[in-house]
Amino acid sequence: MANIHRNRGCSLSQCCLHILVFLIGFLVVSLPSSFVIIQRGKQHFKKPDIKYEETQEQRIEKEFNKIYEDFSQWNLTLCSHASYHRGRHQKVISISVYGKESKFIDNQMYSWTTTILPFFELLVSEMNQLLPQWILRVYIDFTGSTKSQRKHFYKFSNVDICDMNNIPMFGSSLHKFLPGRMWRFLPIFDPYVEYLLSHDLDSPIVQRETETIKMWLSKKQEKNFFYIARDHIEHSSFILGGLWGASL
């Protein structure tokens, strides 16, 4: 019996020794090769330290992609907290207001005293009469205006002021990036806007325009995403910046 136990003990010791040798051999053989593979992989995929200067087109594309990504995650209005409190399904007429002192100077004919304020007051009055269910969004930077002129814009119940220097989440970045005439297109990305009409400050709202808008909003036309209008014989462009709309 003692011999049997002794033999079993030797067999058990041998098994343990074999297992230990196997593990040591595995570690010795496998780990260095894996380490070499990793090192080679790092050497193979290591990018050369070369700095490329971005072109203007690449910078614009990068900035646009960043803004688009921010828009896609946005759950507030692209105007102001006041417009947010109006709730969803808003019908919005959107205009850009900027004077000759603003960046991207392409508005030399406008001044605060002689044109901007008179046109603005007339447009608000016309909307009250002809399109009372619509909200006027004014994308504006107030450059060159006085304190009293700025206060005047906030006096109307059917008007939301979208200060381009303080757009929620974006601050003034969109003001630096977008030309003034494109500010009014921002409601396209606004989840609180159901219908958008892009308009010009100096373009009056008349009865025949409201009739075409009602046609566009009718059930017969609900499948039509875009609203495109022309109101003059010289309106030959496919889409005019201040005479189009979208169902969002």
Classify burial at 117, counting beta carbons within 10 Å of its beta carbon; exposed 0-12, middle 13-18, buried 19 or more: middle
pLDDT the model gives residue 7: 42
Residue with tokens 């929620």: 168
Cβ pair 162, 138 in contact under 8 A: yes
**Closest Cα partner for 195 from 248, 127, 120, 133?**
248
Classify burial at 91, counting beta carbons within 10 Å of its beta carbon; exposed 0-12, middle 13-18, buried 19 or more: middle
Classify burial at 10, counting beta carbons within 10 Å of its beta carbon; exposed 0-12, middle 13-18, buried 19 or more: exposed
What's the helix, strand, coil split of the chain in %, to 5? 50, 15, 35
Q: Which two structure tokens, joined as six digits, stand for 134?
A: 């619509």
Q: Residues 6 or more apart from 48 whose CB is under 8 A from it?
A: none
pLDDT the model gives residue 87: 94
Measure the CA–CA gap between 120 and 82, rounded to whole angstroms: 19
User: What residue type is assigned to position 117 of the chain?
Assistant: L
**Closest Cα partner for 98 from 152, 167, 170, 162?**
162
Q: Which two structure tokens, joined as six digits, stand for 164?
A: 């381009």
Q: What is the pTM of this model?
A: 0.67
pLDDT the model gives residue 108: 55
Exposure b/e, 29-53, CB count within 10 A at least 16 = b? eeeeeeeeeeeeeeeeeeeeeeeee
pLDDT the model gives residue 64: 74
H/E run at residue 65: helix 56-72
In this prediction, the residues of the chain whose per-residue pLDDT falls under 70 are 1-52, 68-74, 99-109, 235
Cβ pair 100, 145 in contact under 8 A: no
**Closest Cα partner for 225 from 234, 217, 233?**
217
Topology (CATH level 3) of domain 90-247: Spore Coat Polysaccharide Biosynthesis Protein SpsA; Chain A (3.90.550)
Cβ pair 194, 222 in contact under 8 A: no
pLDDT the model gives residue 31: 44
